[in-house]
C-alpha cells in the first residue's frame, strides 16, 4: 500500500452509531510531526466502552485505535528518535498513545504522577476526527510534534507488538505497582488482554505460582498457554468458593499479590479477600464507572494490614519497558496467540461486535 | 508504695460486668521475668471496646491496661536491657504490650509482617487474669521472660510517656505507612489519642499543612494545641462539605496523605475522597467490626490512582521510635495535655465511663 | 528601585578575573517570558568554585546568582502560575534555577532521573551573559518561557527565603534520599548552607538525635542554633576520633543515617565508617572533582550492608517542598540567621572573597 | 545408607591443614532437634576461604558444609514444619544454615537488619566440630531446636537444589537489593555460583538484557547456558575496555543495574563506572578483606547520582524464595549443569582443591 492524497479511516460518528469508513485529505506536516502509514491498529475493550458512551467527554466523530504500529511515510523536517537518530521514511515505529502530558503542572512536577496530568490527550480516545488523523483505524496516523515514538527492535515483528497491544503497557504499570517478590503467589483476576499480559509479566517477576480467576474457557486456555499454573473459571465457582480455592492453593493464607483486571466492581472485594494479610492488591480494571461495592473496612482492610493500589493509565516508561520485554521474552510466552482475528477498515464494526461478545481475545485492524 | 505479698488489681469479670478490685498473690519469678511496680497504666478506647464485647476472644476475667510504665521491683536472675545492661530494682522502664511474636512463623520470617503473627498475645487484652498479673491496672505487672522492655530516657518523665500512651506506637506505625514528604498536605481523620499523636508526628515528618477532621470541641482544641493548622468539626459540616473544605485548603486537589483514626466505617470513603489523585490513605482506626461501607472502585480508587494502606498493631520498632521521639520533641508538642484525669484502681469503672463518654481525652490509672 | 532601559549586573569575565559591573539593555520579552526585578540573589560556595574554574564548561562572561527572589516587572503576555492564576507586575516570586530539563529524553522519561537530563541549563552557572540576563547578580533577571516559578507564600518574607537559598532544595533532595525514620540518629557532615539546612530538615523528619561534624566555630554555633544536639569540631578531633565520638553517641553502632555535605573527598570514607551497619549514607557535597579516596569494599560497604546514595542537583519538587517547609516552619529554626552579610552589585567581588574565606555563613547580593 | 551409632564426617583440623575423615558418636536429640541424614552438601568458595584462614573466628576443628539437603532420620519429639505439619523420618528437607538470629536485639527488632544480628551462628562456618555435627560434610547433621527447615517441593529434586546451593539465597538477597525493573539492562560481574544464579534471577525479574563480565571460558559458557545475552571475558579485555563495551551495549549510558559477585576489590570501581547515572549497584561479592580500592567520589558517586548497596548474608525469606523459584523455574534455566563433580567424604580435600583451581563450577559432597 502506498499513501495517496486521500486517507481512508474508520469513524465512530457517535454513541452506538454504526462505524463507517470516511475519507480525509492527506495532511500537511508541521515541523516535528510524522505521518505514519498504519500497519496494524488494535481493537480493545475500551473501544467497546467508548462506542456505548461509557466514557465521558469522547469528542465524536472519532477515529478509534489508540495503540498502533506503522511505517514512517514522511516527517516534518528532521525528527529524532530517543537515541537522537533521525527517523527516515520506511522505519517501523510505534508511539505512546497518550500525548501532551505537560511536564509543567503540579501533578507532573511535584506529585510525579503524570498519568493524572490534566493536559493529557489520548490518540483514538480523547482526540476527535475533527482535529485530524488522530486514531489508528486509518490508513495513516498524524503524529503531532513531540509524540513519543519508539522503533520496534529488530527481533520484534509488528504482529507480536500489536498482539500484546495496549494491554502490555497497562499491565507493565500494574506489575510495577504490584512489587511482586521472587516466589510470591500471584492471583490475576480477569483473563482479557491486560490480565493475560499480566500472567506473563508475573512470571517475569519470578512469581512462584500464578493463579488466574476468569472466564470464558477460550481465555482461560490462553491463560494456561501464557503460563498460568491454575485457572479458576468464574462460571463454575461462586465468589466464596473462589476465595476458598485461592486460599487452599496458598497454604491457607491467600495470595501475596493480587491484580484486578476485570472491569467488574464486585471483583474488588473478592480480590481483597483472596489476598493474604499484609499482602498487596492492585486495581487496574475499573476503567469505567459500573457501580458501587460494599466492603468491611475492619476485616477487609485494616485488620488485614492490606495495601490496595489503584493504577491509572501508563506513561512512556511502561510503554518502553513493555516493548523491551516483548522483544526479549516474546518467544517464551504465547503473546502472538492473543490475536484471534484481523479486520479491514470496512469490517471495523464487526471487529467491535466480536470483541464485545468475547468471541475473540483480541481483534486488530489492518487498514 | 512498696509491694507486699498481695497485689491489688482492677478486674473486668466479663462483658459489661462492673470492674472490681481483686487481690492476687505476689508471683514467683521465672528466670528472665520481671516484676514491675506500676507507676501508671492507661485507659484507652480499646478498653471500652473490650468491656462491651466488641473484640472476639477476650479471656475474661481480665486485668486491662496494655500500655504502662513502672519501676522494676524484682528480676528473675539477671535480665538485660536492649544495650546489654542489667536491669536493677528501681529502674524506670516500660515494655511492649505485644508479646510472643514468634519470629519463626511464615508471617514473621517470610512476609516480615510480625503484627500478623498468629502467636502474638497482648498484655491487658488477650492475656487473662487467670494467667497472671498480665495487665497494667494493677499494683504490679508480671513481665514474662522475653517481654521487650525499654528504659525511659532521662529527659522523659513517666507522666509524659503515659500521656502519649498506646496512641503513640500506633500512630508511629501509621505515620511510617503514610510516607509523608516534606511540605505535604496531611489530613488526620479523628481527634482521639491516635489522631492527636499523629498530628504531632505529621509535623515531625515536615508536613506543610495539618488538617484535623474530628470532634468534639475539647479534642479539636487539643488538636490545635498539638499544632494542627486547621480543624474541621464534624458536628458542623456534612461529609460532602468536609471533603469540599479539605479540597479548598489544598489547591482543589485534596490531601497528599490522609490518615484515618476514627473507628467509624463511613470515615473511610470520605477519607478516600479527601485525598488527592495519586495520594496515600492509611486506615488505622477500624480496630473493630462496626459494619460495612459502600464505595465506587472506579472513582474512589482506580481513576484516582489512590494508594490505600491498612495498618494493624505495632511492633517493637514503633514503640522504640515513639519513645525516642517523645524524649526529643516532648517539649515542643502538647502531649502532656492529653491527660485529662487520673484514677485510682477503685475508680477504674468510672475511668472507663468517662472515656466512653468522650469526657476526657485520656484517662490513666495510678494504682 | 524602578527598572529603566538599562540593567546593571555583576559579571565574572573569566576564571579568576575580577568581578565587574556591566550595563545591559532591557530585554524585549518573548511570549511566556518574565522580567523579574531582583530583590535578592545569593552568593554560594558554587560561585567560588566556578570563579576559580573548578567547573568545566562555564560560559564566561557570566552573571552569577542561581537562586534569587524578585518582583515581576513585566510579562510576555499572560503567564500563569502553578495553580493557573496569571502573574501580575509586583507579584513576589522565585524560580527554579535549573531550566530546560527536557521531559523527553531517556533520563527524563524512562529513568525518571531528571537531574541527569543532558539538556538542563542552570541560571547563573551554565547560561552565559551573552545569552541574556540569565543570572541573579543583576537588577533584573530574564525568565525564559517555561521557567518554573513559584509565588512566595504570604508568611514567607524574601529575606527568609534567600537565607535558606540554594542550600534548601539541595538539602531537601538529600533528605529525600536519606529516608530518615522517626527517632533515627542522624549525622550531618559539613556545616555550610546545605549542612545547616539539613540539620533543620532532619528534625522535620523526626530525627532522635542530630550530630554535626564540621567547622569553624561560627558555623558550629549556627548548627546548634538550628537544633543540632551535638557538634563535633573537625579542627579538634582526628578522623578516627570523630568516628569514635559518633559511635559513643549512638550506642556503639554509628548513625542510622549520615549525610555528607562537605566538598572534601576524605569525608566520604569517614562518613561510611560513622554509619551503622545496614544504615544509609547520602553523598551530596562532592560537587566538584577534588581527588580520589581509598576505601575497603569488604569492611566499609559489603560487610556493613551499607547503602550509599549519591545525590545530584534538585528538581522542581525539591524547590517547591523547600518553600512549603520554610513557610510552615521558618519560625522554629534559625534559617534567618544564616545570612551574615548583604552586598551591593559593586561589592560582589568582596562577597565572593568573604564566602571563600568562610568569614560568613551566607552572603547575599541586593542589587 | 542407614545411620549407625557412629557418624563419619570430613573435618578441617585447622588453617591449611589437610581435611580428614573423623568418626563421631551419634548424638542424643534434645526436644525440637532433628538428626538429618545428609543426601548432599556443598563445597563453595567460602570453604576455600576459611580453609586458608581468610575468615576471622572460625572455630577449628570444623565440619564444613553450610548448605545441605537430607532425609529426616529422627526428631526430638514432635517437630513441625512452617505450615505446622509434623516432620517424619524419611522426609526430604533442607534448612537455613544461619541459626540463632536472635529476634530480640537492636538489629533484629529496630533496624530489621537480621543479617547483622551479632548472635547469628552459621552451620559449617562458625559452629565448630567440638560443638557437634554442625556442618554438612558428614553422614548426618544435627539440627538444633529452632533451626529453620523447609521441605523440598515435590518438583524439586535434591540434585537441583544442591546445584543452586548457597549461591541461590545469596543471589536472591542481592536481586532483592537490586530492584531490577522490567526491561532493564543488567550487568553481572563474576561468573561463580552467585553470579550464575543472579543471571537466571535477573531474567526472573524481567531484565531486558543480561551481560556477564567474568572468566574463565568454562564459566562464561555456563553464563550463556543460564541465559546471558552477552559475556565479556576479563582475560581478553582491560577494565577500561570492559566499561566501554558495557556502554556500547546500553545506548552509551551503562547498565541500569549492576551486581558485583567477584570477590575482587578492583571490580567495585569498575562496576560503578559500568552503571548508568542514577542507576543501582549491588556489592555482594566482597565477602573477605582482600584490600583497598581507590575511587573518585565526585565522578563515580555524587555526580552520577548513583546508588550503591552492600549486601550481607541472607535470611530465611531469601532461602524460602530461592527454593520456591527453583521449584517453579528450575526447568527453564541450567541450574543442574552448575554441578561439575561429586565427591565422597574421603575426597573432600580434592573437592576443595578443584574449587580453588576453578576446575569446576561447583563441587558437592555425597557422604
- The predicted structure's pLDDT at residue B362: 85
- The predicted structure's pLDDT at residue B339: 84
| Cβ pairs A/C, distance under 8 A | 32
DSSP annotation string for D328-360: HHTTTS-GGGGEEEEE-GGGHHHHHHHHHTT-S
| pLDDT level of residue D338 (50, 70, 90 thresholds) | confident
- The predicted structure's pLDDT at residue D359: 86
Measured between CA atoms, the residue of chain D closest to residue B322 is D110
Half-sphere exposure of C56 (CA within 13 A, CB side): 2
pLDDT at C251 over 90: yes
Longest CA span, chain D: 64
What is the tens place of the pLDDT at every residue in B78-101? 999 998 899 999 999 999 999 888
- Is B311–A301 a contact, with Cβ atoms under 8 angstroms apart? no
Measured between CA atoms, the residue of chain C closest to residue D283 is C302
What is the tens place of the pLDDT at every residue in A175-200? 999 999 999 999 999 999 999 999 99
Shortest CB distance from D208 goes to which of A182, A201, A325? Answer: A325
- The predicted structure's pLDDT at residue A339: 84
Question: What is the share, in percent, of chain D residues with pLDDT greater than 90?
Answer: 90
Shortest CB distance from D317 goes to which of B112, B148, B317? Answer: B112
Mark out chain B residues that contact chain C at CB-CB < 8 A.
83, 172, 175-176, 181-183, 201, 203-209, 251, 320-325, 327-329
More reliable by pLDDT, A29 or D103: A29
d(CA A72, CA A94): 10
| pLDDT level of residue A1 (50, 70, 90 thresholds) | low
Shortest CB distance from C325 goes to which of B208, B251, B321? Answer: B208
Mark out chain B residues that contact chain A at CB-CB < 8 A.
106-107, 111, 113, 115-116, 251, 253, 256, 265, 268, 276-278, 283-299, 301-313
- Is A209–D328 a contact, with Cβ atoms under 8 angstroms apart? yes
Kindly provide the ipTM of the predicted complex, given to two decimals.
Answer: 0.95
What is the tens place of the pLDDT at every residue in B322-344? 999 999 999 999 999 888 789 99
Set of chain B residues whose Cβ sits within 8 Å of the Cβ of D146: 104
Average pLDDT over residues C261-273: 97
- The predicted structure's pLDDT at residue D1: 56
Set of chain C residues whose Cβ sits within 8 Å of the Cβ of D106: 251, 253
With 0-12 CB in 10 A as exposed, 13-18 as middle and 19+ as buried, what is B18? Answer: exposed
Mark out chain A residues that contact chain C at CB-CB < 8 A.
82-83, 103-106, 109-110, 112, 146, 148, 315-317, 320-321
Set of chain A residues whose Cβ sits within 8 Å of the Cβ of B297: 265, 268, 283, 286, 293
Average pLDDT over residues B273-293: 96
pLDDT at C1 over 70: no
- The predicted structure's pLDDT at residue B45: 87
Set of chain C residues whose Cβ sits within 8 Å of the Cβ of A103: 103
Q: Nearest C-alpha of chain C: how many angstroms from B347?
A: 36
Mean of per-residue pLDDT scores for chain D: 95
Are B63 and B10 spatial neighbours (Cβ–Cβ below 8 Å)? yes
**CB count, 10 Å around CB of C25?**
9
Half-sphere exposure of A53 (CA within 13 A, CB side): 5
pLDDT at B24 over 90: yes
Q: What is the DSSP letter of B87?
A: P
Shortest CB distance from A325 goes to which of D182, D322, D324? Answer: D182
What is the tens place of the pLDDT at every residue in D260-295? 999 999 999 999 999 999 999 999 999 999 999 999
- The predicted structure's pLDDT at residue B361: 81
- The predicted structure's pLDDT at residue D51: 95
- Is B206–C205 a contact, with Cβ atoms under 8 angstroms apart? yes
- Is A316–C109 a contact, with Cβ atoms under 8 angstroms apart? yes
- The predicted structure's pLDDT at residue D243: 98
Set of chain D residues whose Cβ sits within 8 Å of the Cβ of A324: 182-183, 208
> What is each CA distance from D301 to B204, C314, C344, D263, in whole angstroms?
30, 16, 37, 21
Mark out chain C residues that contact chain B at CB-CB < 8 A.
83, 172, 175-176, 181-183, 201, 203-209, 251, 320-325, 327-329
Q: Where are the alpha helices (DSSP H) in chain B?
A: 45-51, 106-109, 158-164, 167-178, 193-203, 217-225, 239-248, 267-274, 316-329, 348-356
- Is C291–D296 a contact, with Cβ atoms under 8 angstroms apart? yes
Measured between CA atoms, the residue of chain A closest to residue D207 is A325
- Is C109–A315 a contact, with Cβ atoms under 8 angstroms apart? yes
Shortest CB distance from A286 goes to which of B107, B276, B301? Answer: B301
Most confident of A98-107, B355-364, C302-311: C302-311
Neighbours of chain B (3+ CB pairs under 8 A): A, C, D
Query: Apex CA D278: angle with CA D276 and CA D282, to 5°?
Result: 75
Shortest CB distance from C109 goes to which of A109, A110, A148? Answer: A148
- Is A204–D201 a contact, with Cβ atoms under 8 angstroms apart? no
More reliable by pLDDT, D3 or D200: D200
- Is A292–B296 a contact, with Cβ atoms under 8 angstroms apart? yes
- Is C201–B183 a contact, with Cβ atoms under 8 angstroms apart? no
- Is A302–B311 a contact, with Cβ atoms under 8 angstroms apart? yes
Average pLDDT over residues C17-30: 97
Set of chain D residues whose Cβ sits within 8 Å of the Cβ of B106: 82-83
Mean of per-residue pLDDT scores for chain C: 95
All cell numbers assigned to D215: 572468566
With 0-12 CB in 10 A as exposed, 13-18 as middle and 19+ as buried, what is D16? Answer: exposed
d(CA A120, CA A345): 27
Cα–Cα nearest to D67, from D304, D364, D367, D358: D364
Average pLDDT over residues D242-255: 97
pLDDT at B1 over 60: no
pLDDT at D57 over 90: no
Average pLDDT over residues A231-259: 98
Neighbours of chain A (3+ CB pairs under 8 A): B, C, D
| pLDDT level of residue C340 (50, 70, 90 thresholds) | confident
Mark out chain D residues that contact chain A at CB-CB < 8 A.
83, 172, 175-176, 181-183, 201, 203-209, 251, 320-325, 327-329
pLDDT at B53 over 70: yes
- Phi, then psi, of D223 in degrees rounded to 5: -60, -40
Amino acid at each position: 500500500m502506498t499513501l495517496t492524497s486521500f486517507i481512508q479511516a474508520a469513524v465512530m460518528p457517535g454513541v452506538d452509531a454504526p462505524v463507517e469508513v470516511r475519507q480525509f485529505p492527506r495532511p500537511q506536516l508541521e515541523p516535528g510531526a510524522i505521518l505514519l502509514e498504519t500497519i496494524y491498529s488494535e481493537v480493545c475493550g475500551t473501544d467497546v466502552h467508548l462506542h456505548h458512551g461509557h466514557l465521558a467527554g469522547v469528542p465524536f466523530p472519532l477515529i478509534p485505535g489508540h495503540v498502533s504500529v506503522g511505517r514512517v511515510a514522511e516527517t516534518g523536517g528532521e525528527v529524532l528518535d530517543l537515541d537522537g537518530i533521525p527517523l527516515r521514511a520506511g522505519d517501523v515505529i510505534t508511539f505512546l498513545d497518550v500525548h501532551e502530558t505537560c511536564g509543567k503542572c503540579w501533578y507532573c512536577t511535584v506529585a510525579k504522577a503524570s498519568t493524572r496530568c490534566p493536559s493529557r490527550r489520548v490518540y483514538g480516545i480523547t482526540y476527535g476526527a475533527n482535529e485530524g488523523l488522530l486514531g489508528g483505524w486509518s490508513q495513516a496516523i498524524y503524529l503531532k510534534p513531540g509524540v513519543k515514538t519508539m522503533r520496534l527492535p529488530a527481533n520484534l515483528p509488528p504482529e507480536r507488538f500489536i498482539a500484546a497491544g495496549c494491554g502490555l503497557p497497562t499491565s507493565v504499570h500494574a506489575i510495577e505497582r504490584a512489587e511482586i517478590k521472587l516466589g510470591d503467589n500471584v492471583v490475576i483476576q480477569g483473563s482479557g488482554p491486560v490480565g493475560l499480559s499480566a500472567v506473563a509479566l508475573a512470571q517475569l517477576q519470578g512469581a512462584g505460582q500464578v493463579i488466574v480467576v476468569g472466564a470464558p474457557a477460550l481465555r482461560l486456555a490462553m491463560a494456561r498457554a501464557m503460563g498460568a499454573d491454575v485457572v479458576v473459571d468464574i462460571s463454575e465457582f461462586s465468589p466464596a468458593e473462589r476465595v476458598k480455592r485461592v486460599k487452599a492453593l496458598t497454604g491457607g493464607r491467600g495470595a501475596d499479590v493480587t491484580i484486578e483486571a476485570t472491569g467488574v466492581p464486585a471483583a474488588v472485594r473478592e480480590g481483597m479477600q483472596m489476598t493474604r494479610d499484609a499482602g498487596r492488591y492492585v486495581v487496574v480494571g475499573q476503567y469505567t464507572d459500573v457501580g458501587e461495592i460494599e466492603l468491611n473496612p475492619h476485616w477487609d482492610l485494616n485488620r488485614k494490614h492490606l495495601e490496595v493500589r489503584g493504577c491509572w493509565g501508563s506513561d512512556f516508561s511502561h510503554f518502553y519497558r513493555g516493548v523491551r520485554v516483548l522483544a526479549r521474552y516474546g518467544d517464551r510466552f504465547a503473546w502472538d496467540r492473543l490475536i484471534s482475528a484481523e479486520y479491514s477498515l470496512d469490517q471495523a464494526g464487526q471487529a467491535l461486535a466480536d470483541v464485545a461478545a468475547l468471541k475473540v481475545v483480541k481483534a486488530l485492524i489492518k487498514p
